[in-house]
Amino acid sequence: SKNMLWGGRFTGGLDPLMVSYNESIYYDRAFYAQDIAGSIAFARANTVSGILTKDEFSAIEKGFAQVKKEWETNTFDIKPGVDEDIHTANERRLGEIIGTNIAGKLHTGRSRNEQIATDMRLWLRDELRKIETFLTDFLQVTAARAEKEIDFVMPGYTHLQRAQPIRWSHWLLSYGLAFATDLQRLREVTARINRSPLGFGALAGNSFKIDREAMAKELGFDSLLFNSMGGVADRDFVVEAMQWGTTLMSHLSRWAEDLILYSSAEFNFVRLADAYSTGSSLMPQKKNPDSLELLRGKSGRAFGHMAGLMMTIKGIPSTYNKDLQESVEPMLDHVKTVGDSIQIATGVLSTLDARPASMLKALTPDMLATDLADYLVRRGVPFRETHHISGRVVALAEKEGVPMDKLSFEQLRGVDGRFEEDIMETWDYQRSVELKAAKGGTSKAAVLEQVEVLKGMLEGK
Ligand code: ARG
């Protein structure tokens, strides 16, 4: 322990298991670039305030360029048992390159507590910006399909029972607009993450008049965090990002579940591309929708990381406590899971084969029973009464053992004398969807309007 960065007051050695239990280098190395950028910004600010000379700053900047290169080329030699985390590893290596006389000044007034908070915010901000482009791509594919396949009509379900005819594009946009709302949420979350804790010290602040605004600007932060005690201990930004990711994954999970059903032989509405399916080692005929099942399954994993971190942070005293190190791995895995999942979903959707003939075949005339009731409504009959009349037509068709649309005009007339010849026009699925013309409904114009709404949301409207 006395060789460690913080070893001044220690005499004994650490239990070897405690060394590995404590170290985070094997995962927080993900932040090497952010840690170096933060260190350079910190050194620059300490140069302006006179803690470092210009020459010392140049040496630090040059030394870090080499350290960064070593990480990039996978030649950084992690010293097991010494390089506890990314901050100590970078500083140890900098000292070897430029000498500890200069490297030893870098940490003046600084704490790893502010470093990790800074690194995580920078990393998460950049990852969420990548995720924003993945999500935008996914939504563009959704919008393009919805426009191109606007004429496909399929059954819409409630309780997984055939309910009313809808456009396939209406189904696409039912998720598309939820994902577009996720995009709006993502932009809001990212803005809150992009605030700087650098210059907070261990908990109480910085004694060397460091220019926090200048450092924040250099690192691309939008603004500062205020209150050093809160700032070093805050992991709400990680929680919020994971709550966001969990919401998105719950949408992807339901989207995937629908497509799993729709790709089964029983539905046969869509066919998954080979690139996103796998076979069975035993049954030669099988083509399994593994991509979709993994989207559904990984939503549980993403939720677990979010819930786990909330448990971790709920009872810790202020300010920094080592518990907070347990926020790193959940974040890394959650973010990778979410980013990969959106890209897989995009791949699935852009290669999916939609089958309008099967969709049409799955429509049944009883799904027009509401339209039959609406016919009499338009002739002034109260809906509660027309609902009942239409129900009697359903029962008659069942009794006769024919689909509703095969009942003769005379048979319909027998149920209610107010049916006229034009009642037979009811048995038309296209007509049914076109009647749903109010905004947000499943008529062609209403669905195409949804596409425009979605495109506007992509542009931040
Ligand atoms: N590696 C730590 C983390 O991820 C930062 C180090 C702070 N350690 C400390 N003893 N104050 O949270």
Please identify which of the residues 20, 223, 264, 280 carries the catalytic annotation.
280
**Residue 113 CB less than 6 A away from ligand 1:** yes
pLDDT at position 283 is 85
Q: Are residues 153 and 287 in the same domain?
A: yes
C-alpha distances in Å from residue 156, one per residue of 150, 163, 344, 350: 15, 6, 25, 22
**Residue 292 CB less than 6 A away from ligand 1:** no
The CA-based dihedral angle spanning residues 331, 332, 333, 334, taken in that order and rounded to the nearest 10 degrees: 40
pLDDT at position 14 is 87
Question: Of all atoms in ligand 1, which is nearest to the CA of residue 115?
Answer: 5
pLDDT at position 1 is 66
pLDDT at position 2 is 65
Which of 329, 361, 393 is the endpoint of a domain? 361
For residue 188, pLDDT beyond 80 = yes
The share of the chain scoring above pLDDT 90, in percent, equals 94
pLDDT at position 415 is 96
Buried b / exposed e over 132-167, threshold 16 CB at 10 Å, is eebbbebbebbbebbeeebebbbbbeeeeebebbbb
Q: Hey, what are 331's tokens?
A: 């974040």
- Tell me: ipTM over 0.85: yes
pLDDT one-digit tens code per residue, 324-356: 999 999 999 999 999 999 999 999 999 999 999
pTM for the full predicted model:
0.94
The answer to whether residue 457 sits within a structural domain is: no
**Considering the chain, what is the average pLDDT of its residues?**
96
Identify the band that residue 261 occupies on the pLDDT scale cut at 50, 70 and 90. Answer: very high
**Residue 324 CB less than 6 A away from ligand 1:** yes
Which residue is listed with tokens 């309007």?
Answer: 449
Q: Are residues 328 and 209 in the same domain?
A: yes
Domain around 54: 7-103
**Residue 112 CB less than 6 A away from ligand 1:** yes
Q: Hey, what are 91's tokens?
A: 């500083």
Ligand 1 centre from 120 Cα, in Å? 12
Q: Whose CA is nearest to atom 11 of ligand 1?
A: 113
**Residue 419 CB less than 6 A away from ligand 1:** no
Question: Of all atoms in ligand 1, which is nearest to the CA of residue 28?
Answer: 4
Question: How far does CA 89 lie from the centroid of its chain?
Answer: 32
Q: Are residues 191 and 265 in the same domain?
A: yes
Q: Are residues 234 and 312 in the same domain?
A: yes
**Residue 447 CB less than 6 A away from ligand 1:** no
pLDDT one-digit tens code per residue, 273-302: 999 998 888 888 888 999 999 999 999 999
The answer to whether residue 461 sits within a structural domain is: no
159 is catalytic: yes
Q: Are residues 262 and 315 in the same domain?
A: yes
DSSP letter assigned to residue 166: E
The answer to whether residue 235 sits within a structural domain is: yes
pLDDT one-digit tens code per residue, 170-186: 999 999 999 999 999 99
The answer to whether residue 446 sits within a structural domain is: no
Which of 345, 361, 377 is the endpoint of a domain? 361
| Rounded-to-integer distance, Cα 63 and Cα 49, Å | 21
Q: Are residues 302 and 375 in the same domain?
A: no
Pocket test for ligand 1, best of 34, 88, 107, 325 (most atoms within 8 A of CB): 325
What is the average pLDDT across 67-90?
97
pLDDT at position 284 is 83
Ligand 1 centre from 24 Cα, in Å? 9
pLDDT at position 10 is 76
**Residue 36 CB less than 6 A away from ligand 1:** no
What is the average pLDDT across 444-457?
98
The answer to whether residue 272 sits within a structural domain is: yes
**Residue 114 CB less than 6 A away from ligand 1:** no
Ligand 1 centre from 11 Cα, in Å? 21
Q: Are residues 251 and 180 in the same domain?
A: yes
Question: 351: Cβ–Cβ under 8 A, 6 or more apart, which residues?
Answer: 272, 273, 275, 276
Q: Are residues 275 and 379 in the same domain?
A: no
* Cross-strand pairs, 166: 154
Q: Name the domain count of the chain.
A: 3
Q: Are residues 159 and 248 in the same domain?
A: yes
The answer to whether residue 260 sits within a structural domain is: yes
The answer to whether residue 18 sits within a structural domain is: yes
pLDDT one-digit tens code per residue, 375-425: 999 999 999 999 999 999 999 999 999 999 999 999 999 999 999 999 999
281 is catalytic: no
For residue 244, pLDDT beyond 80 = yes
